[in-house]
């Protein structure tokens, strides 16, 4: 006779089984397979018949003279993109959240327009816009603003400018939308009481808006940090990691190792290390901000 | 008993979902198990001979080879064949497909029991099929570049055609193309064209093409001063070393060398330093070359060329259609010039597009499909097929007989049609370039060349390092990449590697 508790456990297990199967197939299998091949010599000439070689790929990675540069570049890319994206997204959300703003829907529709285009196509358009001296940016906009030309082929700072500005354009609607919805959840009464107390806009932002959004900002920061860390297309399309490897990140380097140099095992090892770094940083940020405390 | 509850509707739904998933998974598993079973056990030939009546026939083609009238004696047998379907990944362009579709129709007419399932718009690099290969579900036949096919062959998922076709069969192709479809003496692909970059020039600004680099500079400076446009558009910093290899060779360099049977990169040389400095000088000091961010007809180089903003570019015949439709008879094509400093031609890589067959383990092919695939790749690289590609798309034939016909057509065309005459002159220039090329290395080690070159060339053209540092850096990066992928070990050199030189005597 099966006890009631056992039966309940079986039923409970059946409930989560479909999700477990999906997670296993879609998430865990690729991860486990990547870990597995990172310990093999899977490469061009050992594509079908590869063997276990222990930590060789990880040793090669440590010996790789580009490792430090790749790490620094990845941090520059991630934080360099995230900070302006969050700042712009939050600023626009605050503007949109003004009660007395007319045509709010129209502004919002215009501002989320970059989302309407497929990212890959947008990047190709931006690639053309940055061509020096023929593209829109170097031909019209930058001279109009009295700013110097930007050419990623001849300058590292230009390359970073191209990447971060383009990524900002591609991503700010997401941040704006998330913060806008967060702002709308703040009780209006708080602002009204603050008005009665004679608080100014900055004071209201510092004492009401920002504390109320703290967890949303932390959540957005963590998820976007991981996404941007692994974001591949902007760099691959706009600069290809150049000049040299000046804008090359872990992910772009891993891609080139796999698909240009057919060194799949080494690329897998790079990906695993990259994953460990992002998971580690994620845990630290989660603990620091306590963003998951309210999620039960 | 009161505490026992019956299963809720949700629980029943969850169980049903799980059961359905299990059934689907079992079904898929059973399907693949059956496929594997067929693959490994079916070894019986599919053709069943019902009669054997020897017959002599005269094969007449619409455009026969010019040198001989071919009268072939064949033994035809009336046979019954089991229908077979093969999957073919087609990497042709739109204009090439116009020719290819005719070839497919002819093939299915000749072999009615073989159905060809064509996957249009496929990639021409073998590396794009690796996931399908791992899953054992790759197309039976691919059309890919000879160098990427070389890597695939070394990986073990392309058929060794030398085991199926006699050595004499391969002799019908132009030597350079078959050499580039061969690794360690084994042929892995049948070529349907021969390709390399060429110098395209706009006759509006450059009436006669330069023969030497000194003339190139002189012409480009003149164009720059007279018309206020770029003399040349060549994005040396954006490329991965495919085109730059021509200039490197022109300065006397070679990509690989061998030391005690081991392959070593040979990029750290005076030739590399000189070649880099040559283009740096044209770009930054003389300001006659535009360091374009993207090559080809769809890139900045092509855009400038077709809009009369630059006089000279270096690109392949695959973009001829775009340039000719934009410039018409103003378009000219000529070989890359001789490097004045060395007296050597700037010799671009010459490669081929190969038809290859994936192994049964990579595609799940049955013996019947392998047989059909062999018939197919022979057919699409025969005289008629390659002449169709030449006539319709301008692809340079890899088959010697078709190549000779193409040459003869160009010199003997009796027409007053200006367009045809102009196009023929351009094609002559392209064919002339083919005689000043070097075989594109197709060994797996070559995969590490591209990014090593790109990394340091782009740093050099961004003025971060000098040419000597760039040459040293790219060689060190090349060696590191080979070490990481385990390719800096004694792997026997394929024949083609020894032919890294001009092959003007190829016929």
Provide the shortest C-alpha distance from residue A283 to chain B (in Å): 32
Whole-model pTM: value is: 0.80
**Structure confidence at residue A1 (pLDDT):** 62
Lowest mean pLDDT of A210-214, A283-287, B348-352, name the range: A283-287
Chain A environment of B127 (Cβ under 8 Å):
259, 262
CB atoms A47 and B21 under 8 Å: no
Q: What is the mean pLDDT of chain B?
A: 83
Mutating which of A132, A134, A155, A244 best tests the B interface, going by the most B Cβ atoms within 10 A?
Answer: A244
**Looking at chain A, how many residues does it have?**
296
Distances A167 to A85, A161, B174 between C-alpha atoms, Å? 8, 10, 49
The closest CB to that of A48, out of B14, B155, B448, belongs to B155
Judge whether A124 is closer than 8 Å to chain B, CB to CB: no
SS3 A242: coil
CA separation (Å) from B30 to B23, B34, B41, B361? 10, 6, 16, 18
pLDDT at B74 over 60: no
Write out chain A residues lying below 8 Å of B151, CB-based.
Answer: 44, 262
pLDDT in tens, B457-478: 999 999 999 999 999 999 999 9
pLDDT tens per residue, range B188-221? 999 999 989 999 999 999 999 999 999 999 999 9
Q: Is the pLDDT of residue B50 over 90?
A: no
**Arch. (CATH architecture) of A63-295:** Orthogonal Bundle (1.10)
**B464 min Cα distance to partner chain A (Å):** 9
Range from A127-141, A171-185, B408-422 carrying the lowest mean pLDDT: B408-422
ipTM higher than the 0.95 cut:
no
- In chain B, the percentage of residues whose pLDDT exceeds 70 is 80
Q: Closest to A15 (Cβ–Cβ): which among B11, B133, B484?
A: B11
Indicate the range of A271-280, B106-115, B225-234 predicted with least confidence.
A271-280
Q: What pLDDT score was predicted for residue B67? A: 38
- The pairs formed by A34-38 with CB atoms below 8 angstroms and a separation of 24 or more are A34/A268, A34/A271, A34/A272, A35/A268, A35/A272, A37/A264, A37/A265, A37/A268, A38/A265, A38/A268, A38/A269, A38/A271, A38/A272
In this complex, which of A4, A259, A263 lies closest to B485 when CB atoms are compared?
A263
How much is the average pLDDT of B431-441?
A: 89
How many angstroms away from the CA of B232 is the closest CA of chain A? Answer: 16
Distances (CA, A) of B24 to A153, B19, B21: 52, 9, 5
Interface of A with B in 181-240 (CB under 8 A): 240
Alpha helix positions (H), B156-269: 167-170, 175-179, 213-227, 244-250
Instruction: Render pLDDT for A206-238 as a digit per residue (tens, 0 to 9).
Output: 999 989 988 888 888 888 998 999 998 999 999
Query: Cβ separation of A156 and B300 shorter than 8 Å?
Result: no
DSSP, collapsed to helix, strand or coil, labels residue B182 as strand
- CA-nearest residue to A6 within chain B is B4
**B4: which chain A residues are within 8 Å (Cβ-Cβ)?**
4, 7
Q: Give the domain ranges of chain A.
A: 63-295
Which residues have a Cβ under 8 Å from the Cβ of B416 and sit 6 or more positions away?
A: none
pLDDT of residue B507: 25
Task: Give the distance, in angstroms, between the CA of residue B441 and the centroid of all CA atoms in the same chain.
Answer: 12
39-98 in chain A: CB under 8 A from chain B: 41, 43-49, 57, 60, 64-65
As given in the structure block, the two tokens for residue A198 are: 């004679």
pLDDT at A82 over 60: yes
Q: Which pair of tokens denotes residue B469? A: 């540092």
Residues of A with CB below 8 A from B458's CB? 153, 240, 242-244
């Amino acid at each position: 006779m099966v006890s009631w508790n056992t039966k309940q456990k079986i039923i409970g297990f059946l409930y989560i089984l479909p999700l477990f199967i999906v997670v296993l197939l879609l998430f865990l299998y690729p991860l486990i397979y990547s870990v597995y091949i990172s310990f093999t010599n899977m490469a061009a000439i050992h594509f079908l018949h590869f063997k276990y070689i222990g930590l060789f790929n990880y040793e090669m990675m440590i010996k790789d003279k580009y490792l430090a540069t790749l790490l620094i570049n990845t941090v520059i890319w991630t934080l360099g993109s995230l900070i302006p994206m969050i700042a712009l997204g939050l600023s626009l959300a605050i503007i949109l959240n003004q009660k007395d703003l007319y045509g709010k829907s129209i502004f919002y529709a215009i501002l989320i327009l970059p989302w309407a285009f497929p990212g890959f196509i947008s990047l190709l358009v931006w690639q053309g816009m940055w061509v020096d001296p023929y593209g829109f940016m170097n031909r019209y906009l930058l001279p109009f603003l009295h700013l110097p030309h930007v050419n990623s082929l001849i300058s590292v700072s230009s390359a970073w400018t191209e990447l971060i500005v383009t990524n900002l354009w591609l991503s700010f609607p997401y941040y704006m939308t998330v913060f806008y919805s967060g702002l709308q959840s703040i009780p209006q009464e708080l602002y009204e009481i603050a008005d009665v107390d004679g608080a100014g806009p900055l004071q209201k932002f510092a004492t009401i808006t920002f504390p109320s959004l703290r967890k949303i900002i932390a959540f957005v920061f963590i998820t976007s940090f991981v996404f941007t860390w692994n974001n591949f297309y902007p760099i691959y399309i706009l600069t290809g990691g150049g000049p040299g490897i000046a804008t090359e990140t872990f992910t772009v380097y891993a891609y080139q190792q796999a698909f240009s140099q057919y060194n799949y095992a080494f690329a897998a090892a790079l990906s695993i290390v990259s994953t460990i770094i992002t998971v580690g940083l994620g845990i630290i940020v989660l603990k620091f901000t306590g963003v998951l405390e309210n999620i039960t | 008993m009161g505490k026992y509850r019956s299963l809720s509707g949700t629980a029943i739904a969850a169980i049903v979902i799980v059961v359905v998933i299990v059934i689907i998974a079992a079904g898929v598993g059973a399907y693949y198990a059956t496929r594997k079973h067929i693959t490994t056990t079916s070894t019986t030939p599919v053709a069943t001979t019902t009669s054997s009546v020897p017959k002599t026939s005269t094969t007449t083609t619409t455009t026969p080879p010019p040198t001989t009238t071919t009268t072939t004696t064949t033994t035809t047998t009336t046979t019954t064949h089991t229908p077979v379907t093969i999957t073919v990944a087609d990497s042709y362009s739109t204009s090439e497909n116009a020719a290819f579709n005719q070839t497919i129709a002819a093939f299915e007419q000749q072999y009615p029991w073989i159905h060809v399932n064509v996957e249009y718009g496929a990639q021409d690099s073998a590396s794009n099929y690796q996931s399908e290969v791992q899953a054992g579900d790759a197309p039976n036949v691919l059309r890919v570049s000879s160098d990427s096919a070389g890597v695939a062959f070394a990986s073990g998922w392309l058929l060794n055609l030398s085991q199926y076709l006699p050595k004499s069969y391969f002799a019908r192709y132009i030597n350079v193309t078959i050499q580039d479809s061969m690794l360690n003496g084994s042929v892995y692909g049948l070529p349907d064209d021969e390709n390399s970059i060429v110098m395209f020039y706009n006759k509006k600004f450059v009436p006669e093409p330069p023969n030497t680099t000194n003339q190139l500079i002189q012409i480009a400076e003149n164009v720059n001063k007279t018309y206020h446009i770029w003399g040349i558009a060549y994005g040396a910093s954006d490329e991965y070393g495919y085109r730059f290899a021509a200039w490197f060779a022109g300065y006397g360099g070679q990509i690989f060398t061998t030391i005690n049977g081991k392959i070593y990169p040979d990029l750290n040389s005076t030739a590399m330093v000189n070649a880099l400095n040559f283009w740096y000088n044209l770009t930054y000091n003389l300001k006659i070359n535009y360091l374009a961010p993207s090559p080809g007809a769809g890139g900045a180089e092509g855009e400038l060329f077709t809009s009369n903003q630059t006089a000279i570019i270096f690109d392949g015949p695959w973009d001829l259609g775009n340039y000719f439709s934009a410039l018409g008879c103003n378009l000219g094509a000529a070989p890359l010039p001789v490097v004045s400093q060395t007296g050597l031609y700037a010799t671009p890589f010459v490669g081929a597009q190969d038809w290859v067959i994936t192994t049964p383990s990579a595609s799940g092919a049955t013996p019947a499909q392998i047989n059909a695939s062999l018939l197919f790749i022979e057919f699409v690289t025969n005289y008629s097929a390659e002449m169709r590609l030449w006539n319709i798309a301008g692809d340079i034939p890899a088959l010697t007989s078709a190549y000779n016909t193409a040459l003869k057509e160009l010199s003997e065309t009796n027409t007053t049609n200006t367009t045809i005459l102009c196009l023929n002159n351009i094609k002559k220039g392209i064919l002339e370039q083919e005689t000043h090329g070097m075989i594109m290395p197709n060994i797996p080690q070559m995969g590490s060349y591209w990014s090593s070159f790109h990394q340091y060339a782009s740093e050099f053209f961004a003025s971060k390092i000098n040419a000597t540092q760039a040459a040293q850096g790219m060689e060190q990066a090349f060696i590191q990449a080979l070490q990481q992928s385990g390719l800096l070990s004694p792997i026997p050199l394929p024949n083609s590697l020894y032919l890294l030189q001009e092959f003007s005597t190829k016929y």
